[in-house]
């Protein structure tokens, strides 16, 4: 193979997210400023930052949920203000929207992810193609055997995986996750890490807001640290460890309740029935 010819071909692949001196905020108040960032297909980026650093505003800026107040923001090569192919960006919130008041099965919740692809002239939701995709998404997160279970009977960690499956059902090109392992015990963090590792192996591009670097150490390919509304570090996990060890970065591996949603506790007696669930007893995230 001609490697010299192959190199330009790889470089020709456009980034899925590209920011050039971009600023984001609310009501003309800039929270994140002068951010230059490019994320290539297949990267798994951990987005770190202390409380109030602006990382949540940055993520919301990518999703169109905070105002762009300067610079350039491109999604798949399209200016953010002109971007309309929203299913290409999958979002997994930290806050659990699945509670005891929700009367729906796991399969029904995941099926919501297919709504973005429905059109009035297409078959109704539940078509064979949708059913296959929903089943595959549940298999990816290790919950195929819980498809008919009421979501209110699941543990917090299992519900987190349902939300990931719901996002995957839209067939996104990028998966943006807000603290996927927060409020989840160590054993269930490992389960979630297995799910994310499986997605990484499939080449899924991921942007993960997290404070649990240890749980994701084998998955993350790049670390971006936001501090004071600006990017303070952007590089490999090894480079981040080296700079941190040398005292060059101020980062604390914990989150604050005022910045992040409080994780929903597991329901009393909630089972750990999925094939990937830890066998040990005790609290389930």
Among 110, 150, 149, which residue's Cα sits nearest to residue 130?
110
DSSP sequence for 174-201: EEEEE-TTTT--HHHHHHHHHHHHHHHH
If one counts every other C-beta atom within 10 angstroms of the C-beta of residue 126, the result is: 10
Helix (H) or strand (E) holding 37: strand 29-39
CA angle 171, 210, 183 (to 5 degrees): 100
With CA atoms as reference, report the closest residue to 159 among 141, 177, 171: 141
What pTM was estimated for this model as a whole?
Answer: 0.78
pLDDT tens-digit series, residues 53-85: 999 899 999 888 899 999 999 999 999 999 989
- pLDDT, residue 285, reads 42
CA distance 274 to 269: 15
Judge residue 13's burial from the number of C-beta atoms within 10 Å of its C-beta, 0-12 exposed, 13-18 middle, 19 or more buried.
Answer: exposed
Q: How far apart are the first and last CA of the chain?
A: 49
Sequence-distant (6+) residues with CB within 8 A of 281 are none
5 vs 180, more confident: 180
Burial class (CB in 10 A: 0-12, 13-18, 19+), 7: exposed
What is the number of residues in the chain?
285
Instruction: Specify the CATH number of the domain 14-90+155-160+177-245.
Output: 3.40.50.300
Cβ contact 163:93 at 8 Å: yes
pLDDT at 184: 78
CA angle 232, 237, 241 (to 5 degrees): 75
Is there a contact between 221 and 236 (Cβ–Cβ < 8 Å)?
Answer: yes
> In this predicted model, what pLDDT tens digit does every residue of 136-154 receive, in sequence order?
999 999 999 999 999 988 8
For 91-124, the pLDDT digits (tens) are 998 765 565 566 899 999 999 988 876 654 455 5
Question: What is the reported pLDDT for 126?
Answer: 54
Q: Give the start-to-end residue ranges of the domains of the chain.
A: 14-90+155-160+177-245
CA–CA separation, 68 vs 96, rounded Å? 27
Taking CA atoms, 16 is separated from 29, 77, 141, 243, 282, in Å, by 27, 7, 24, 28, 41
pLDDT of residue 246: 75
Assigned token pair, 64: 């169109």
Average pLDDT taken over every residue of the chain: 80
């Amino acid at each position: 193979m001609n490697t010299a010819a192959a190199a330009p071909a790889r470089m020709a692949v456009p980034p899925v997210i590209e920011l050039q001196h971009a600023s984001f905020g609310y009501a003309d108040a800039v929270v994140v400023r002068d951010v230059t960032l490019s994320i290539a297909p297949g990267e798994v980026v951990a987005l770190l930052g202390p409380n109030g650093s602006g990382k949540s505003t940055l993520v919301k800026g990518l999703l169109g949920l905070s105002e762009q107040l300067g610079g350039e923001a491109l999604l798949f090569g399209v200016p953010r203000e002109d971007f309309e192919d929203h299913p290409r960006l999958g979002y997994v919130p930290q806050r659990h929207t699945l509670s005891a008041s929700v009367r729906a099965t796991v399969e029904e919740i995941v099926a919501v992810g297919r709504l973005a692809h429905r059109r009035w002239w297409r078959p109704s939701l539940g078509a064979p193609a949708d059913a296959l995709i929903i089943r595959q998404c549940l298999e990816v997160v290790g919950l195929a055997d819980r498809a008919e279970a009421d979501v209110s009977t699941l543990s917090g960690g299992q519900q987190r995986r349902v939300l990931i499956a719901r996002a995957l059902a839209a067939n996104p090109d990028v998966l943006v996750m807000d603290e996927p392992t927060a409020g989840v015990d160590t054993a269930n963090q490992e389960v979630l890490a297995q799910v994310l590792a499986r997605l990484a192996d499939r080449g899924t591009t991921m942007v993960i807001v997290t404070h649990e670097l240890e749980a994701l150490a084998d998955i993350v390919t790049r670390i971006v640290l936001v501090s004071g509304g600006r990017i303070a570090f952007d590089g490999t996990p090894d480079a981040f460890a080296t700079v941190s060890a040398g005292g060059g970065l101020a980062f604390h591996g914990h989150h604050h309740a005022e910045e992040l949603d409080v994780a929903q506790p597991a329901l009393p007696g909630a089972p750990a029935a999925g094939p990937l669930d830890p066998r040990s007893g005790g609290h389930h995230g």
